[in-house]
A and B are shown apart, each in its own frame.
Chain A
């Protein structure tokens, strides 16, 4: 069995903990981080919007290097929390598409709900919803933290037909 655990900045701890608890010990694990490519572009090419200006190069490491360094640091933290052998995979691009691509050939994807802590459509952000909708494998959907008690919020758009 091959399991992919999506390591996202705010929710990775819950993913790792549930993966440790629920994924069989002999499964081959991949910890996956995806950096959004559009952000670097917006940050770096903002100067292109300033007509007629030639801003001097900003000192310090380029944004790509910072992004890669932090992705590696996050994956290393996740691995040490997991405490067992895992492959580390770092990608950049459109986050939701890269996650779906990375699941090719995998049997299971572990992903956290990144929205409201209450069952219902708002418990998934748009990128996570895309991943859940398009993942080519089984999906283990975990809560990022203890969800609020109470009945789930009704989905007004997609209610099943009544009796």
Chain B
């Protein structure tokens, strides 16, 4: 009975998150689901409290990071990135792609994949169109790197934040272990992109529009650099990195002084509630068979074959149900096998979603059903790029992770 209730609650939350119906917001369904598993006793109050205690710091950290990225946007950092790319490209689409790779990899690593998707991608689109260059390679690169460049730091992806807390690694050691897998992923993306889009990148016209003026947001850049340094030093000085992120966000937001309502909305409170509700339901489902099922699928240990298996299973799970639920479901199981297994899971859940255009098979099916009469999107190119890059990066980055685990 408890098993059935928690699985039904989990399914309802996933459907609500994918469907995005106005009358059933995902965060409301997540709260109702959490209340339901508590009411029927699928999870005890102390169990729920310990799940919240586990997730609380991560959710707080996420809120601070969202405010940090929002502060950077207010300070004009993304407009400055656009101007920097336009000037540096000097009319060449392939030079522009190199700069897009640098900008997207850095934005994703430091400010998380949300910042790349929501804030950087529109800037890249406009920069390429105004070069003028066919914006296809550049926009697809942003979309891909938001996932594959999110391997580096605990702050690069919400999945990393969740795993960071569970892995017991310090911020610096997390980054040290993931640096090589991250670089390998970027190198493979670069090779595949320059080959796949060679005709879009080869020729440049000679029309020379006035490049936009570069207005560097010096203050925001200094705050961001100090925040990053604070992250790296946090464990040495015994401060949890969440406070470093909060301090950086506070400094940027105090300077910008946005209205309180905008400030609260920038933390995406509904997302925070959604993650907490989903976490309680996953914990309940975990106690009633889900963890056992995951354990039976996942390979055990931290040697190379096990790491490859964990990355592959995680990538498949992320493509089936989206990477956030996949992480919450797999994480408790792999955390028992040590940090190597946790990081291999991250390679899978972070890189895997590049296979499906909308993030997961569930979302794709839903859109096919609901938007059947909409203008058909051409997902061929996205799928071709995913098939070329994802399996290769999964294997090569996991191999790089295994190497890093031997030496770092």
CA distance A112 to B200 in the complex (A): 12
CA distance A70 to B198 in the complex (A): 22
Contact with B along A134-151 (1 / 0, CB 8 A): 000000000011000000
Q: Which of A32-40, A83-91, A99-107, A152-160 forms part of the interface with chain B?
A: A32-40
Cβ of B117 under 8 Å from chain A: yes
Chain A's closest residue to B116 (CB) is A46
Residues from chain B with Cβ under 8 Å of A127 in the complex: 199
Q: How many residues of A contact B (CB 8 A)?
A: 48
The reply to whether A60 and B207 form a contact with Cβ atoms under 8 Å apart is no
Residues from chain B with Cβ under 8 Å of A51 in the complex: 17-18, 26, 322-325, 359-360
The reply to whether A10 and B203 form a contact with Cβ atoms under 8 Å apart is yes
What's the interface size class on B, roughly? 35 or more
Cβ of A82 under 8 Å from chain B: no
CA distance A40 to B125 in the complex (A): 8
Chain A's closest residue to B324 (CB) is A51
Describe B's contact surface by its main secondary structure.
helix
CA distance A124 to B202 in the complex (A): 11
Cβ of B177 under 8 Å from chain A: no
Residues from chain B with Cβ under 8 Å of A36 in the complex: 134-136
Q: Which of B265-273, B299-307, B335-343 forms part of the interface with chain A?
A: B265-273
Residues from chain B with Cβ under 8 Å of A27 in the complex: none
Chain B 98-145 residues near chain A, CB threshold 8 A: 113-114, 117-119, 121-122, 124-126, 129-136, 139-140, 142-143
Cβ of B27 under 8 Å from chain A: yes
Can you show 11 pairs from A to B with CB atoms below 8 A apart? A38-B378, A38-B382, A46-B118, A49-B358, A52-B270, A54-B268, A55-B114, A67-B129, A70-B130, A77-B207, A125-B200
Given contacts A49-B363, A50-B113, A73-B132, 14 further A-B contacts (CB under 8 A): A10-B133, A10-B200, A11-B205, A37-B375, A41-B377, A43-B124, A46-B143, A54-B268, A54-B270, A55-B118, A58-B119, A67-B129, A114-B199, A126-B199
